[in-house]
């Protein structure tokens, strides 16, 4: 029987983003982390591919690597960051765009294979996507109207597949930074979520506190949460909040503190009450594993877990 919401275990789950197999090996056994977030693009760039693509643009799971992953995780739950648009990944893979109807089949095939990997590893999990890109590396991909019209079809199809094909996944989309000179990815206005995902029934959102710092001034998380989509996960990290349209260095991915994210105390009390997975999406080149462990212990104390 489904538990009433007040009977549910509302303990937050702390997690850390991993971009390579050695990182998974380091963080999966640590008791400080209840969960991990795996970046598919990061893993592939570091030689650990979770799937391959054939000439007909159909994806297949990398069964051997899925088994390796299952053994390292030892039952620890995980979520996945889907590759974002314009990122070359695998031999034979071209750039797929949400706002191009011809690319939808491949994008759906890729998500289907990720669902298959969750099945093989014996988990259910969240898959985090970015919303459609309008511009990638200065190349125009679509107008806003195009994206609203075409990408929303993809999202509705994914939403249907989750139900009909019983994918063990919760698909979510995360908020993003204001447009850069060379890139524009939607998700920096609550309206983007409403216009693109308004027809879906099961898709949720992932809140990214660092990206929120670098979104246009009038972007407020209350507005995003007020769109009615379930919040499924949080990427918890900070930055100086000074948006730079010419560079990506502003998206610093450093430890969230009272000084570098707005409403720090409110986030903590939200985490305490919600049971949400809170992913430390930090740039690990900036910290030693001991520093990460230390920060996480203090955060766990603050969250009383
Ligand atoms: Zn994020």
Contact indicator for 116, 50 with CB cutoff of 8 Å: no
Residue 11 has a pLDDT of: 82
**Spatial separation of the C-alpha atoms in residues 113 and 32, rounded to whole Å:** 30
Which pLDDT belongs to residue 88? Answer: 66
In this structure, what are the phi and psi dihedrals at residue 24, rounded to the nearest 5 degrees?
-60, -40
Residue 4 lies in a domain: no
- Rounded Cα distance between 181 and 280, Å, is 27
Dig out the tokens for 6 from the structure: 């007040």
Distance 235 CA to ligand 1 centre (A): 5
Give the model's pLDDT for residue 221: 87
Q: How many domains does the chain have?
A: 1
Block means of pLDDT (10 residues each) for the chain, length 305 residues?
Answer: 62 93 96 95 94 94 97 95 81 91 96 97 94 94 98 98 97 96 95 96 95 90 87 96 94 96 92 91 93 95 90
What CATH number has the domain bearing residue 48? 3.20.20.150
Pairing assessment for the beta strands 231-235 and 277-280 based on DSSP bridges: parallel
Q: What is the pLDDT of residue 92?
A: 82
What's the CA-to-centroid distance between 233 and ligand 1, angstroms? 10
Residue for token digits 């591919």?
A: 49
What are the residues facing 51 on neighbouring strands?
61
Report pLDDT for 273: 85
In the prediction, which pLDDT does 91 show? 81
Q: Is 207 part of a structural domain of the chain?
A: yes
Q: Which residue has the tokens 């960051």?
A: 81
Domain annotation covers residue 3: no
CA of 176 to the centre of ligand 1 (A): 8
| Per-residue pLDDT at 191 | 94
* Parent domain of 176: 10-302
178 contacts: CB under 8 Å, gap ≥ 6? 188, 214, 215, 216, 243, 245
**Residue 189 Cα, ligand 1 centroid: separation in angstroms?**
15
Full-model pTM: 0.94
State the pairing for strand pair 139-140/204-208: unpaired
In a domain, 2, yes or no: no
Distance from Cα 213 to the centre of ligand 1, integer Å: 12
16 is a domain residue: yes
Domain membership flag for residue 196 = yes
Assess if residue 102 is contained within a domain. yes
Report yes or no on 201 lying in a domain. Answer: yes
Three-state DSSP class for residue 43: helix
What pLDDT is stored for residue 210 in this prediction? Answer: 95
Query: Ligand 1 centroid vs 91 CA: distance in angstroms?
Result: 26
The pLDDT value recorded for residue 241 is 93
How many whole angstroms from 208 Cα to the centroid of ligand 1? 5
Q: Which tokens in the block code for residue 87?
A: 């990122």
144 burial type by CB count under 10 A (0-12 exposed, 13-18 middle, 19+ buried): middle
Alpha-carbon span 187 to 196, nearest angstrom: 10
Give the Å distance between the CA of 19 and the centre of ligand 1.
13
Give 32's DSSP letter: T
CA of 232 to the centre of ligand 1 (A): 13
CA-to-CA dists, residue 153 to 67, 174, 175, 200, angstroms: 33, 18, 19, 10
- List phi, psi (to 5°) of 254: -105, 170
């Amino acid at each position: 029987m489904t538990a009433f919401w007040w009977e549910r275990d509302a303990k937050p789950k702390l997690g850390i983003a991993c971009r390579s197999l050695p990182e998974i090996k380091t963080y999966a056994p640590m008791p400080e982390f209840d969960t991990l977030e795996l970046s598919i693009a990061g893993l592939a760039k570091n030689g650990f591919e979770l799937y391959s693509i054939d000439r007909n643009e159909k994806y297949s799971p990398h069964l051997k690597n899925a088994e390796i992953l299952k053994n390292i995780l030892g039952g620890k739950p995980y979520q996945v960051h889907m590759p974002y648009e314009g990122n070359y990944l695998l031999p034979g893979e071209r750039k797929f765009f949400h706002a191009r109807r011809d690319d939808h089949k491949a994008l759906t095939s890729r998500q289907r294979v990720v669902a298959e990997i969750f099945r093989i590893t014996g988990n259910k999990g969240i898959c985090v996507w970015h919303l459609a890109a309008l511009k990638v590396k200065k190349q125009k991909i679509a107008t806003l109207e195009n994206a609203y019209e075409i990408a929303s079809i993809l999202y509705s199809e994914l939403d249907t597949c989750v139900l009909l094909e019983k994918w063990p996944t919760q698909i979510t989309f995360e908020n993003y930074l204001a447009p850069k000179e060379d890139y524009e990815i939607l998700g920096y206005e609550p309206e983007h979520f409403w216009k693109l995902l308004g027809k879906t029934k099961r898709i949720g959102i992932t809140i990214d506190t660092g990206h929120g710092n670098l979104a246009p001034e009038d972007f407020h998380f209350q507005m995003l949460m007020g769109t009615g989509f379930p919040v499924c996960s949080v990427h918890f990290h900070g930055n100086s909040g000074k948006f730079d349209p010419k560079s990506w260095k502003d998206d610093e991915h450093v430890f969230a503190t009272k000084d570098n994210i707005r409403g720090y105390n409110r986030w903590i009390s939200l985490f305490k009450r919600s049971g949400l997975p809170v992913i430390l999406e930090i740039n690990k080149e900036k910290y030693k594993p001991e520093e990460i462990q230390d920060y996480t212990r203090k955060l766990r104390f603050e969250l009383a877990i």
